[in-house]
Amino acid sequence: MGTIGEAVRRRRSGLRAGVAGRILDFALIAIIAAFLILLGTKVVAQGGSFFVQILTFAVANGGIYALIALGYTMVYGIIELINFAHGDVFAFGAFLSGSLLPIFGLREGGAFTPVSAVALLAVFALTMLACAFLNISIERIAYRPLRHAPRLAPLITAVGVSFFLEGALFLWKGPSNVHYPNILPNAGFELFGATIGVKDLLVIGISLILMFALGLFVQRSRLGKAMRATAQDRDAALLMGIDIDRTIAATFFIGAILAGAGGTMYGLYYNTSVFDLGFSAGLVAFTAAVFGGIGNIYGAAIGGMVIGMIRTFWDGYFDSAWTDVMIFTILILVLIFRPTGLLGMRVPEK
Amino acid sequence: MLRQFWERGPRRDPNTIAYVVLLVAAIFFPILVNVITGGNSSSIMTVAADAGVYVLLAIGLNVVVGFAGLLDLGYAAFFAIGAYTYAFLASDHMRVTPLGEPIHVSFWIVLVIAMFVAASFGVILGAPTLRLRGDYLAIVTLGFGEIVPRVFRNAAGWTSGVNGISALDIPSLPLWLQGPWSGDPFAVVPDFKIISSIGYYAIMVILVIICVILVRNLQRSRLGRAWMAVREDEVAAAAMGVNTVAVKLLAFSIGAAFSGFAGTYYAGKLSLVSPENFGFSVSITILVMVVLGGMGNIPGVITGALLVYYVIFVLLQQLPEFAVNFVTSIGLGGLVKSSGDYPGIAEFISRLKFLVFGLILVIVMLVRPQGLLPSRQREQELQKGVKEDTVIEDVNAETT
């Protein structure tokens, strides 16, 4: 197909990799260096304990964004669709778990006993499952019928589903911020003058465990192998006897499990959620996925960490009103300088 | 019979009929309103002129989404840029900015300037991203649409932040012939300030007509055919010698130009700009208009814009009150009060907007992807993709 077009494109990308590419690489390094130097002076000025505190927030934040970014990147890797609704599935997770906590007897101010730990685990599991079923229904209803339609069609339904979910959350809880029960003990320990709480450890721990489990799953399990094969070449995978529909549904399922866990942790960590949380968090997480190299799960994990850290550091050391502007600028810069991202695979144009 | 006439009868473009209907409706609408309301038409005409802003925006977005097949989710950003261009160039506001000097440029000149400003931002944003796959553009424009209002809000030294900029210059005509039609004696008035709602309506109709002619000519030009080629198969278009990046960039910046154009009109009419008026929901509203009306077909898009505008800004505004009365009259008065998370029926209905938007987008794409008044070519393309869903066939199509 299109051999001339391929040749033209190869020549163009070859040119880009030459002189222009090198200039762009240098420019990128210069920008990063400038930012790091600026940050460094601020860090030195503010002192060590503040830095450790911010670093703790940053890692927890990065973990949550990494979990969302993984969902974007897995879906993009397998069907090359930006699942706009993914951020809203995450927000749904936050809303649902917030409503489930009181039902499981977890109330704000109550003592945190081993029983409540089990209850929290149950809330986690239920939220993750509900998000997963929501996401596979979205895939079944809105994306699967359009799998062979022009690219624009599923993109538009993705935006539509995202707006629909946002509208549903809006209908459920209204326009203002919703309080999320603060059930975790506020205890913590001191480290270099900074307080590291149970919350921080919980969020960092769970996100690391989930990411590790995902990596293992994709590398070792049969379904993971099928997912990788489908991402690489759907038609060949089909001819090898892989059930494409099932594999794609499984991808949506797993992505949403991570988003559900992320949503619950977001609620536990920040104790607030709002109906358009999925929109803003989704944009950041997508930036993270692009930053790490879309389609690559390790890239998304690293990208999520890095973007979460950049965000938190910016909030801590610079003007937080400009944080989102900054994140977006990063997205543009990555697309200019290194469209394949940090660890990106080359996505063939179809 | 009408269907037969529509489908087979005229071998010419069926759009001609649609254009005539729309034009006649545009001309007779004010007269009709005047008769029905008994000369008290100004509030309805204001709404109609506002609807015109969305018609302009939908025509512009149609160039990007309908003709070139690129998804632009931050279209309101260019709208904001157009509006702020007018606010900067035609008010006393610049006196309180670091510049220190007020600037007053005529509305008509700013219209053109804003087009170029918005188009330039389109080029700046599009140039790095249009080289990449199409979906990157969607997400980048989404981000851009979030960022632009935020910049206007944060850069308070220049834009007054959340307060916005008010008391913009009222658009004026350099010369105007006054007469009995406006209830005044005959006179030639220099520097005539446009304040009547019917005046804005007339300007809007003229602007829309100009834009429709422009876009229609573009569609039929070499560039329009290039857009179509890129939309259907980018690789094939490149092989045929179409400079795909330049063609996409042109579509993107021309779309942005229309948005800037509409923004200036909007600011001039409202005499106020605020960063809160250009959020993501505006971009989605315009997208819904284009998708519902029929991507790629100008009369379809205009119809879609008018329809969605009516539903959102007229029907959905009146519906809560109607629902309260209805529910009370059938004896379910308990639904009116709020309880727990349930906010009462009036509030419940006014919260439906987002949900309805999402539903329209999904249902139209699944059931009738070509929209209400489709473009014939677009209909073929979109239907083809949905109908042929055997994968083996697809494999053949790709390997041959």
- Mark whether A204 and A56 lie in a shared domain: yes
Give mean pLDDT, residues A38-52: 81
From B237, which residue of chain A is nearest by alpha-carbon distance?
A5
Look at B135 and A339 and tell me if their CB atoms are within 8 Å.
no
Q: What is the pLDDT of residues A196-231, one digit of tens each?
A: 888 888 899 999 999 999 989 988 888 888 988 888
Give mean pLDDT, residues A3-14: 48
Look at A167 and B353 and tell me if their CB atoms are within 8 Å.
yes
Q: What is the DSSP string of B336-368?
A: TS-BTTB--HHHHHHTTHHHHHHHHHHHHHHH-
Q: How far apart are CA A160 and CA A164, in angstroms?
A: 6
- B399 Cα to chain A: minimum distance (Å): 6
- Mark whether A184 and A243 lie in a shared domain: yes
Q: What is the pLDDT of residues B364-377, one digit of tens each?
A: 888 888 777 777 77
Give mean pLDDT, residues B342-348: 72
pLDDT of B7 higher than 70: no
- Mark whether A312 and A215 lie in a shared domain: yes
- Tracing tokens 């979109």 back to the chain, one arrives at B382
Full residue range of the structural domain in which residue A14 is found: 1-46
Which ipTM was obtained for this model? 0.80
Q: Which of A4, A148, A175 sits opposite B389 (nearest CB)?
A: A148
Chain A interface disruption, residue of B135, B339, B378, B391, most A CBs within 10 A: B135
A241 and B CB contact within 8 Å: no
Instruction: Return the top range by mean pLDDT from B75-79, B238-242, B345-349, B360-364.
Output: B75-79
B391 phi/psi in degrees, rounded to 5: -75, -35
A304 neighbors A288 (Cβ within 8 angstroms): yes
Confidence of residue A344 (pLDDT cuts 50, 70, 90): low
For residue A21, the model assigns a pLDDT of 65
Q: What is the pLDDT of residues B93-107, one digit of tens each?
A: 777 777 777 788 888
How many CB atoms within 10 Å of residue B242? Answer: 20
Structure tokens at A294: 């879309």
B365 and A CB contact within 8 Å: yes
pLDDT of B341 higher than 80: no
For residue A19, the model assigns a pLDDT of 66
Q: Give residues 192 to 251 of B whose Cβ lies within 8 Å of A.
A: 231, 233-236, 238-239
Q: What is the pLDDT of residues A136-173, one digit of tens each?
A: 999 998 888 888 887 788 888 998 999 899 989 988 88
The alpha carbon of residue B174 and the mean position of all alpha carbons in its chain are separated, in whole angstroms, by 28
A112 and B CB contact within 8 Å: no
Q: What is the DSSP string of A213-240?
A: HHHHHHHHSHHHHHHHHHHH-HHHHHHT
A190 membership: H or E segment, kind and range: strand A188-191
Q: How far apart are CA B93 and CA B87, in angstroms?
A: 8
For residue A105, the model assigns a pLDDT of 77
B162 and A CB contact within 8 Å: no
For residue B1, the model assigns a pLDDT of 59
For residue B395, the model assigns a pLDDT of 41
A56 and B CB contact within 8 Å: no
Q: What is the pLDDT of residues B288-328, one digit of tens each?
A: 889 888 888 888 899 999 988 988 888 877 887 787 777 77
Q: Is B274 helix (H, G, I), strand (E, B) or coil?
A: coil
Structural domains in chain A (count)? 2
- Mark whether A305 and A232 lie in a shared domain: yes
Give mean pLDDT, residues A176-196: 79
Q: Give residues 199 to 238 of A whose Cβ lies within 8 Å of B.
A: 234-235, 238
Q: Give residues 12 to 51 of A whose Cβ lies within 8 Å of B.
A: none
For residue B393, the model assigns a pLDDT of 42
Look at B146 and A324 and tell me if their CB atoms are within 8 Å.
yes
Q: Which of A80, A149, A174 sits opposite B369 (nearest CB)?
A: A149
CATH number at residue A185: 1.10.3470
Please check whether residue A348 lies inside any domain of the structure: no
Q: What's the one-letter identity of residue B21?
A: V
- Tracing tokens 């400038």 back to the chain, one arrives at A34
A86-103 vs A152-173: helix axis angle to the nearest 10? 30
- Tracing tokens 């494109």 back to the chain, one arrives at A9
For residue B183, the model assigns a pLDDT of 65
From A333, which residue of chain B is nearest by alpha-carbon distance?
B128
Please check whether residue A343 lies inside any domain of the structure: no
Q: Which of B128, B357, B362 sits opposite A332 (nearest CB)?
A: B128
Q: Give residues 283 to 312 of B whose Cβ lies within 8 Å of A.
A: 284, 287, 291, 295
Question: Who's near B37: CB < 8 A, 6+ residues apart?
Answer: B44
Structure-model confidence comparison of residues B252 and A295, the more confident one: B252
Q: Which of B128, B356, B391 sits opposite A335 (nearest CB)?
A: B128
Alpha helix (H) residue ranges in chain B? 2-7, 15-37, 42-61, 75-89, 107-129, 134-154, 156-159, 197-220, 222-232, 234-239, 244-270, 280-293, 298-309, 316-329, 345-350, 353-367, 376-387, 391-399
From B139, which residue of chain A is nearest by alpha-carbon distance?
A283
Give mean pLDDT, residues B167-172: 80
From A118-132, B4-18, B169-183, B216-230, the region with the lowest mean pLDDT = B4-18
pTM of the model: 0.84
Look at A164 and B354 and tell me if their CB atoms are within 8 Å.
yes
From B26-40, B56-70, B320-334, the region with the lowest mean pLDDT = B320-334
Beta bridge partners of residue A178, listed in sequence order: A273
Q: How far apart are CA A26 and CA A91, in angstroms?
A: 39
Cα distances (angstroms) measured from residue B74 to each of A83, B77, B281, B282: 17, 6, 10, 9
Structure-model confidence comparison of residues A22 and A219, the more confident one: A219
For residue B399, the model assigns a pLDDT of 39
Q: Which of B140, B150, B361 sits opposite A159 (nearest CB)?
A: B361
Confidence of residue B12 (pLDDT cuts 50, 70, 90): low
B351 and A CB contact within 8 Å: yes
Which of B239, B237, B129 has its CA nearest to residue A6? Answer: B239
Structure-model confidence comparison of residues A291 and A2, the more confident one: A291
Q: Is A124 helix (H, G, I), strand (E, B) or coil?
A: helix
- Mark whether A297 and A180 lie in a shared domain: yes
For residue A148, the model assigns a pLDDT of 80
Please check whether residue A342 lies inside any domain of the structure: no
- Mark whether A25 and A63 lie in a shared domain: no
pLDDT of A16 higher than 60: no
For residue A111, the model assigns a pLDDT of 73
- Mark whether A269 and A284 lie in a shared domain: yes
Q: Which of A167, A235, A339 sits opposite B132 (nearest CB)?
A: A339
Look at A339 and B357 and tell me if their CB atoms are within 8 Å.
no
B362 and A CB contact within 8 Å: yes
A265 neighbors A207 (Cβ within 8 angstroms): yes
Give mean pLDDT, residues B39-63: 87
Please check whether residue A346 lies inside any domain of the structure: no
Please check whether residue A302 lies inside any domain of the structure: yes
Cα distances (angstroms) measured from residue A82 to each of A51, A154, A338: 35, 9, 19
Look at A290 and B139 and tell me if their CB atoms are within 8 Å.
yes
Q: Which of A8, A153, A331 sits opposite B369 (nearest CB)?
A: A153
Q: Contacts of residue A164 in chain B, CB cutoff 8 Å?
A: 354-355, 357-359, 362
DSSP state, residue A110: -
Structure-model confidence comparison of residues A175 and A70, the more confident one: A70
Look at A328 and B382 and tell me if their CB atoms are within 8 Å.
no
A154 neighbors A272 (Cβ within 8 angstroms): no
Q: How far apart are CA A67 and CA A301, in angstroms?
A: 7
Look at A171 and B139 and tell me if their CB atoms are within 8 Å.
no
For residue A49, the model assigns a pLDDT of 80
Average pLDDT, whole number, for chain B? 81
B104 membership: H or E segment, kind and range: strand B103-104
Q: How far apart are CA A162 and CA A173, in angstroms?
A: 17
Q: How far apart are CA B385 and CA B69, in angstroms?
A: 15
Q: How far apart are CA B240 and CA B70, in angstroms?
A: 20
For residue B5, the model assigns a pLDDT of 60
Q: Contacts of residue B131 in chain A, CB cutoff 8 Å?
A: 339
B385 and A CB contact within 8 Å: yes
pLDDT of B394 higher than 50: no
- Mark whether A167 and A123 lie in a shared domain: yes
A176 and B CB contact within 8 Å: no
Please check whether residue A350 lies inside any domain of the structure: no
Q: What percent of chain B has pLDDT over 70?
A: 84
Please check whether residue A18 lies inside any domain of the structure: yes
Please check whether residue A217 lies inside any domain of the structure: yes
For residue A165, the model assigns a pLDDT of 92
- Mark whether A19 and A78 lie in a shared domain: no
Look at B150 and A6 and tell me if their CB atoms are within 8 Å.
no
- A255 Cα to chain B: minimum distance (Å): 19
From A13, which residue of chain B is nearest by alpha-carbon distance?
B131
For residue A345, the model assigns a pLDDT of 56
Q: Contacts of residue A290 in chain B, CB cutoff 8 Å?
A: 136, 139
Q: Cα torsion at A222, A226, A229, A233 (round to 10°)?
A: 160
Look at B154 and A166 and tell me if their CB atoms are within 8 Å.
no
Question: Who's near B376: CB < 8 A, 6+ residues apart?
Answer: none
- Mark whether A36 and A181 lie in a shared domain: no
Give mean pLDDT, residues B201-215: 90
- Mark whether A166 and A29 lie in a shared domain: no
Q: Contacts of residue A5 in chain B, CB cutoff 8 Å?
A: 234-236, 238-239
Give mean pLDDT, residues B178-188: 68
From A81, which residue of chain B is nearest by alpha-carbon distance?
B135
For residue B392, the model assigns a pLDDT of 40
- Mark whether A116 and A135 lie in a shared domain: yes
B71 and A CB contact within 8 Å: yes
Q: What is the pLDDT of residues B227-280, one digit of tens each?
A: 989 888 888 888 888 888 899 999 999 999 999 989 999 998 888 888 888 888
Average pLDDT, whole number, for chain A? 83
Confidence of residue B181 (pLDDT cuts 50, 70, 90): low
For residue A41, the model assigns a pLDDT of 84
Look at B135 and A347 and tell me if their CB atoms are within 8 Å.
no
